[in-house]
A and B are shown apart, each in its own frame.
Chain A
Amino acid sequence: MTEGAQAAPPILSVSGLGKSFGAVHALSEVSFDLRAGEAVGIVGPNGAGKSTFLAALTGAFAPSTGTIWLDGADVTGTPAEIMCRRGVVRTHQIPRPFGGLTVFENARLAASFGGPENGDADALAYGALKLCRMLPLANTQADRLGLLDRKRLEMARALATSPRVILLDEVGGGLTDAEAEVLVEIIREIRASGCAIVWIEHIVHVLLQVSERLICMDMGRIIADGDPQAVMRDPAVMEAYLGQGVT
């Protein structure tokens, strides 16, 4: 999709990716390259296939068609647990905490299973909670958390695996302006550490504070990809959002 003008080869790459759920084509003919350390925003109307795209990238299910490469190696059909250990992890749009465990135990579990081979799981979990400003909740059982804290936990848990690519699915929905500012700060810190980010969010102005590249999806396809301002002015994008209103 993007022209491979930049020097670094893509860390994660897909071509011709498709996924059908019965008669629903949630994803069709998606091709995409992600370079190490890059930050990409994804927008698109409801049901566009954004979450399905992230899920397919992490191996949550095998795609119906297409190929996924990680570091140039074909990883199509590799299960999520192995993709995670290789450094690709996502958050869930509807948070899926381990409700019977505390916030710290959630993060630690992710660090010890999805993190580096001989990593210090306690240190990784502590670092992820600190980065996500969740230390005050460290010993709270996860099923006692409200929705916003559950979303933060999704992010902290994914970060605890020390990923090279983190895929964020609407972690910022429902935040106040002040909270959104903190989120942007956190995501900048993640970026500064060299981790590549793909971030789905409906609040475009927040998204644009961290991503230099924007993708718009509609009906299972990528309809625009590139400079955020250009993407937002793209007629196809305006068409897709007709009646939806872009913030």
Chain B
Amino acid sequence: MSLSSSLSNLSTETSPMAQATTAPYRVRRWTPRAKITVLLFAVAVAALALAPAVTGAAFMDRAVALFVYILLAVTWNALAGYAGQVSVGQQGFFGLGAYVTIRLSDAGLPVFPSLVVAALVVGAIALPVSFVMLRLREGEFAIGMWVLATLFHLLVNLDPLIQGETGVSLIALNAVPAETRNLVIYLMALVSAVAVISAMFLLLRSRIGAALQAIRDDEAAAHSVGVNVVRTKQVIFVFAAFGAALAGALWLAGNVSFQPKAYFSVQWMAYTIFMVIVGGIGTFEGAILGAVVFFLLETFLGGYGVWYLLVLGASAIVMALGFPQGIWGYLSSRHGLSLVMVGRHLEAPETEKSGKGSGWSADG
């Protein structure tokens, strides 16, 4: 008898509370609170989808910025917070997303599909890149990504279409009436943010997500229990590149003009890191919360110039010193708060013993 079959048997036949064929346990993947959260999320998305009917261009313009921040924060959190690969070069994919959009549009592809296709193209480029970059460890990886972003920037500048740092505009957008344009971009950004949030949610609940959480907690241990660490990281690397590229393409759509320096700027990284650290790195909810916090700070303080930057810097320092787990990390560890359940809860008679101590000293 193999250990495999005897372990499985333990869970059925030999268990005293087993009722003939039914397993003596149940694995729950949803809590009432998680269901309510998903429901509220759906309601919020529906409200945002209908919002253009009652709001103006200014609202939609700002909202696109929020959605772009969410894309950046959620995907960088997946890469740095879960896969442990702290990239400071996502602006490379961000800029590339915008650049490829310009190229596709110039080649005659309709402008709105270009945005999504560009992100897919960049994701495809990221796959071979991942083989090289993921060989680098920690600090090397961070620096390597930054170098890669710089390299992308230089290469894009070589393209005569871009006219160096002068840049170009996504001229195809001018053919679309302003009102339609705003609406379509707004809806595309909304759908993108929702899609990436949902993808992250489903990813975390999948096999890959379990592997990802294990890698986040202890990479060597993940290795030792059979997790293919490199392949898991590759999936996330490509996902993060796709997210950053989609963000870049949407940013271009909202701002029309493409100046390489502005898109390949390390400032995008600084903002993204701020969002994720403040919200709670390595937590699903934290990245989204951080993007919202950053967006609100920018919206209400952005006009104050230097003061705004001071507030950003100060809050980053306060968070780093006082709440290194971020807002969400703090709430969830202090109050056991978890809105969306991505785990597995075991229900069995033996687990009901209030969780005090294992059965080691007591029974045998």
B13-31 contact mask (Cβ, 8 Å, vs A): 1 or 0: 0010000000101010000
Contact A136 B355 (CB under 8 A): yes
Contact B351 A136 (CB under 8 A): yes
Shortest distance from the beta carbon of A35 to any chain B beta carbon, whole Å: 16
In-complex Cβ contact of B8 among A127, A129, A190 (8 A): A127
The residues of A with any CB-CB pair to B shorter than 8 Å are: 58, 60, 79-82, 84-85, 89-90, 92, 96-102, 104-105, 108-110, 112-116, 119-120, 122-124, 126-140, 148-149, 152, 157-164, 176, 178-179, 181-183, 185, 190, 193-195
Contact B355 A157 (CB under 8 A): no
Q: Which of B1, B12, B27 has the most CB of A within 10 A?
A: B27
In-complex Cβ contact of B344 among A58, A80, A105 (8 A): A105
Task: Name the interface residues of B204-220: CB closer than 8 Å to any CB of A.
Answer: 207, 210-211, 213-214, 216-218, 220
5 contacts between A and B (CB under 8 A): A84-B225, A101-B343, A102-B343, A104-B27, A148-B360
Residue ID in chain A nearest B353 by CB atoms: A136
Residues in chain B near residue A138, CB distance under 8 A: 346, 348, 350-351
Given the contacts A60-B220, A127-B10, A104 and B346 also touching, CB distance less than 8 Å? yes
Residues in chain A near residue B224, CB distance under 8 A: 58, 60, 80-81, 84, 89-90, 92, 96
Q: Which of B191-199, B226-234, B253-261 contacts A (4 or more CB under 8 A)?
A: B226-234
In-complex Cβ contact of B226 among A84, A132, A136, A181 (8 A): A84
Residues in chain B near residue A178, CB distance under 8 A: 361
B175 at the interface (CB under 8 A from A): no
Residues in chain A near residue B217, CB distance under 8 A: 97-101
Task: Name the interface residues of B1-59: CB closer than 8 Å to any CB of A.
Answer: 1-4, 6-12, 15, 23, 25, 27
Residues in chain A near residue B210, CB distance under 8 A: 101, 105, 108-109, 112-113
Given the contacts A112-B210, A123-B11, A126-B348, A81 and B220 also touching, CB distance less than 8 Å? no
Q: CA–CA, A131 to B360, complex, Å?
A: 11
B358 at the interface (CB under 8 A from A): yes
Contact B358 A133 (CB under 8 A): yes
Q: How many residues of B contact A (CB 8 A)?
A: 52
Residues in chain B near residue A194, CB distance under 8 A: 1-3
Q: CA–CA, A60 to B225, complex, Å?
A: 11
Q: Which of B7, B217, B220, B357 has the most CB of A within 10 A?
A: B7
Contact B359 A135 (CB under 8 A): yes
Residues in chain A near residue B25, CB distance under 8 A: 122, 126
Shortest distance from the beta carbon of A127 to any chain B beta carbon, whole Å: 3
Q: CA–CA, A84 to B344, complex, Å?
A: 23
Contact B3 A190 (CB under 8 A): yes
Q: A127-B10, A136-B358, A152-B360 are in contact. List 13 more A-B contacts (CB 8 A).
A: A81-B224, A97-B217, A100-B216, A104-B345, A105-B210, A108-B210, A109-B211, A115-B226, A120-B8, A133-B360, A136-B356, A139-B345, A182-B361
A interface majority secondary structure: helix
Residue ID in chain B nearest A133 by CB atoms: B359
Contact A193 B350 (CB under 8 A): no
In-complex Cβ contact of B213 among A100, A119, A126, A159 (8 A): A100
Shortest distance from the beta carbon of A71 to any chain B beta carbon, whole Å: 14
The residues of B with any CB-CB pair to A shorter than 8 Å are: 1-4, 6-12, 15, 23, 25, 27, 207, 210-211, 213-214, 216-218, 220-229, 282, 343-346, 348, 350-351, 353-361, 363-364
Contact A135 B351 (CB under 8 A): yes
Q: CA–CA, A198 to B106, complex, Å?
A: 66
Shortest distance from the beta carbon of A9 to any chain B beta carbon, whole Å: 18
Q: CA–CA, A132 to B358, complex, Å?
A: 9
Q: CA–CA, A134 to B355, complex, Å?
A: 10
Residues in chain A near residue B27, CB distance under 8 A: 104, 122
Contact B357 A136 (CB under 8 A): yes
Residues in chain A near residue B364, CB distance under 8 A: 133, 181-182, 185
Shortest distance from the beta carbon of B226 to any chain A beta carbon, whole Å: 3
Residues in chain B near residue A157, CB distance under 8 A: 225
Q: CA–CA, A210 to B8, complex, Å?
A: 24
Q: Which of B216, B221, B345 has the most CB of A within 10 A?
A: B221
In-complex Cβ contact of A179 among B1, B2, B350, B361 (8 A): B361
Contact A139 B351 (CB under 8 A): yes
Residue ID in chain A nearest B227 by CB atoms: A113
Residues in chain A near residue B361, CB distance under 8 A: 176, 178-179, 182
Shortest distance from the beta carbon of B232 to any chain A beta carbon, whole Å: 10
Given the contacts A137-B358, A179-B360, A108 and B344 also touching, CB distance less than 8 Å? yes
Contact A98 B213 (CB under 8 A): yes
Residues in chain B near residue A120, CB distance under 8 A: 8
Residues in chain A near residue B9, CB distance under 8 A: 127
Given the contacts A108-B344, A114-B225, A126-B346, A136 and B3 also touching, CB distance less than 8 Å? no
Residue ID in chain B nearest A191 by CB atoms: B3
Q: Which of A105, A116, A124 has the most CB of B within 10 A?
A: A105
Contact A98 B214 (CB under 8 A): yes
In-complex Cβ contact of B360 among A98, A99, A119, A182 (8 A): A182
Contact B4 A119 (CB under 8 A): yes
Shortest distance from the beta carbon of A184 to any chain B beta carbon, whole Å: 11
Contact B10 A130 (CB under 8 A): yes
Residues in chain A near residue B4, CB distance under 8 A: 115-116, 119, 124, 162
The 7 closest A-B pairs by CB, nearest first: A114-B226, A127-B7, A162-B4, A135-B350, A133-B359, A113-B226, A96-B221
